[in-house]
Chain A
Amino acid sequence: MNNLLISACIILVITISLCLYKGARGPTIADRLVAVNVIGTKTVVLISLVSFIFEKTFFLDVALVYALISFLTTIMVADYMVGENKKEEEGIK
């Protein structure tokens, strides 16, 4: 059972690093935001898997709080994207 979880973790880390590459390279700001959102979701899965590998299940609270903070980050950066554009249109810097 433990080997299954560890191999799943390794595959997940490889996909997270691919997403990180896309987030560093993505041509527009929205691409980077999508990549960061995906990394947040995958990190929640990774924390849950690690908590079951080490059999310390209080890590699940960490996963729950991480999901909350990741959602807030996405919402705030998207709001900032629109607000910055409006300021540019009105000529305020």
Chain B
Amino acid sequence: MTVLVGTLLFTGIFFLTVGTIGLLRFPDVYTRIHATTKCDTLGLGLVLVSLMFISGLSWDSVKLLFVIIFVWLTNPTAAHVISKAAYKRGIPMAEGSFFINKEEKPDGNI
């Protein structure tokens, strides 16, 4: 039981740490969103599933399940809204980004 909980817990913590490294190291807003969202969703899911294994069949597990479902619904939505707002505001992409249509390249006020 302890081995199962520890494995799930530290896999989740590993994904959260990788998301933080991506946030610090990537060159661009859009790539940072890409790194953090995926790793956050997976990391939170794994950590809370390990807590569900600790508490067993109880109301606490149901609450944790509600938290997981809610974050899995809202986190991609928030990332989509942030990236759309950044694109509309014209925040530039990293150097060497590839554009099919040159007209759509955002540039201008940060």
Contacts and interface: CB of A to CB of B under 8 A. Distances in A.
A38 B67 CA distance: 16
Contacts of A30: 29, 82, 85-86, 89, 91
A4 B20 contact: no
Interface string A61-74: 10110011001001
Contacts of A22: 23-24
The size class of the interface chain B forms with chain A is: 35 or more
A28 B91 contact: yes
Contacts of B23: 18-19, 22, 34-35, 38
B11 to A, nearest CB: 11
Given A8-B47, A18-B20, A75 B81 contact: yes
A78 interface: yes
